[in-house]
Structure 1
Amino acid sequence: MRYMTKSERFFNEEEMLRIKETTRSVELQTIGEVAVMVVDSSDRYIEAELTGAIIFGSLFSLIITTILFSSSMWVYIPLSFILFFLLWFIFYAIPVLKTPFISFKRKEQEVMERAIRAFYEKGLYRTRKNTGVLFFLSLLEHKVWVLADKGIYEKIDQET
């Protein structure tokens, strides 16, 4: 059995079926072509992993060295490196831990870029009458982006 990502487990089978049926129904009743995409995160945010590992690795090393080794620099430096790599792996393996190290603006930018990339990767810009719509959910960032092609914008009032 393979590991299922958080995005693959986000909706249960019944919810997935309802989404597919609703999408199909909307496509039959309108000229829009709809796609839904759920991703675990829009970016790896490696700088957040590194920042967290450096801060906590140094802090834990300082505490351990001060308590157990009388503040020996010979223990602090190697212990900092060991804890850095251990914590880097932990931040990589548990993405929610890195969220405090990611700015709101950075999250917004990454989700927007990932949604736009998905819009083009799924070919929603090549639909008949330019009526593609993408509902993009990025779980780590708790963000939803809705992108529509120019054919949709021509049909709706811009104030709504």
Structure 2
Amino acid sequence: MATAADFFTAEEQQRIEEAVKAAELTTSGEIVPMVVDCSYEYPRAELIGSGTLSLACGLFVSWAVGGESIWWFLPVFLITFALFFLVIRAWPAFKRKLIHPEEFTIEVKEKAMVCFLEQGLHETRDKTGILILISLFERRVQVLADSGINAKVPQNTWDEIVAMIVTGLKSGAACAATCQAIARCGELLQEHFPRKDDDTDELPNLIIEQKS
């Protein structure tokens, strides 16, 4: 799985930043695209997955080889638990299968809200900050807008912007779709919050979350 650091090439990152600059030339609003590896680590998936698989292995070996002895079951269970735990952690495609889609939805929304506050999008002068969050592990996109612009734009419009980027992610055109979404956000902001003479670029034009 691509990480946030290498999901967009250097050229694509520049294209996205230029798209943000172009969109913000006509509005007092702020648009911040952000790419993260994941919205949450989902440790429960690793524990439940490895526990279930190692339990099955321990029971099978105990029944087939050890005459249902617990002294066969315990070492097999412990060894395979550790192995399956490492496999699930290193194999994102399999780990995703162990997580309910609704949990993805909840965690990506929560991540977007946390990032919105951490990056100061709630502090723009006219409450016009828009966060476009791309969460790679979940393969989800969340668009979160501040109260100023959100009061003037219906929810289905934000849903259309999300769908635009998701389609690009699936087709391998993530950069083009992100730029298109940024342009659409710029149109919405321009319509309701045209640029003022004293406007400044208050926020970053692209944020790539770096793992510590």
TM-score (norm 2): 0.67
Per mean C-alpha deviation after superposition, the further-off stretch among 150-159 and 16-25 is 150-159
Give the SS at the match of 2:35: strand
Aligned match of 2:36: 39
Among all aligned residue pairs of Structure 1 and Structure 2, give the percentage whose two residues are the same amino acid. Answer: 38
The question of whether the paired residues in 1 share the 8 Å contact of 2:108 and 2:135 is answered with yes
Take 1:56 and 1:125, find their aligned partners in 2: how far apart are those partners?
Answer: 45
Take 1:156 and 1:97, find their aligned partners in 2: how far apart are those partners?
Answer: 38
Aligned match of 1:122: 119
Segments of 5+ residues of structure 1 without an aligned counterpart are: none
Matching of residue 10 in structure 1 with residue 13 in structure 2: no
Segments of 5+ residues of structure 2 without an aligned counterpart are: 158-212
Out of 102, 106, 125, the position equivalent to 1:105 is: 102
Take 1:26 and 1:68, find their aligned partners in 2: how far apart are those partners?
Answer: 68
1:53-132 matches, within 5 Å, as 53-132=50-129
Give the residue type in structure 2 aligned to 1:47. R
Aligned match of 1:139: 136
**RCO higher in 1 or 2 (8 Å CA, sep ≥ 6)?**
2
CA RMSD of aligned residues (A): 1.9
Give the SS at the match of 1:110: helix
TM-score (norm 1): 0.87
Residue 159 of structure 1: CA displacement?
6.3
Per mean C-alpha deviation after superposition, the further-off stretch among 42-51 and 88-97 is 88-97
Residue 69 of structure 1: CA displacement?
4.2
Give the residue type in structure 2 aligned to 1:61. G
| Number of residues of Structure 1 aligned to a counterpart in Structure 2 | 156
Take 2:81 and 2:155, find their aligned partners in 1: how far apart are those partners?
Answer: 50
The question of whether the paired residues in 2 share the 8 Å contact of 1:26 and 1:32 is answered with no
